[in-house]
């Protein structure tokens, strides 16, 4: 909620219509080159973490990137 509420007005200024489809957390370990996507937003529910992972893989090509439904 915090990020969406901050970013949405700026995106709308650029002509984008935004909708939050869910949330979660990202644990980024740059030393081990690992990223873990997990959890959910209490306000928006769980995002589709598989989609998040596919987006991250485009930028972090040399990382091990995983996701789970774990809350911690």
CB 32 within 8 A of CB 16: no
Q: Is residue 67 part of a domain?
A: yes
| pLDDT reported for residue 2 | 81
Structurally, how many domains does the chain consist of?
Answer: 1
Q: For residue range 5-57, list pLDDT tens digits in order.
A: 999 999 999 999 999 999 999 999 999 999 999 999 988 999 999 999 999 99
Q: Which domain holds residue 35?
A: 20-71
Q: Is residue 44 part of a domain?
A: yes
Torsion sign across C-alpha atoms 54, 18, 69, 26: positive
Tokens, residue 13: 């200024």
Alpha-carbon distance of 22 to 31, in angstroms, equals 28
Q: Is residue 3 part of a domain?
A: no
pLDDT bin (cut points 50, 70, 90) of residue 60 is very high
CATH number where 25 lies: 3.50.20.20
DSSP tag of 22: -
DSSP tag of 45: B
Q: Is residue 12 part of a domain?
A: no
pLDDT bin (cut points 50, 70, 90) of residue 58 is very high
Report the predicted TM-score, pTM, of the whole model to 2 decimal places: 0.82
């Amino acid at each position: 909620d915090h990020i969406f509420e901050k970013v949405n007005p700026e995106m709308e200024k650029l002509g984008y219509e935004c909708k939050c489809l869910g949330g979660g957390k990202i644990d980024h370990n740059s030393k081990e080159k690992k990223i873990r996507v997990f959890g959910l937003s209490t306000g928006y529910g769980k995002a589709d973490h598989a989609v998040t992972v596919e987006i991250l893989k485009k930028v972090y090509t040399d990382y091990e990137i995983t996701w789970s439904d774990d809350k911690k």
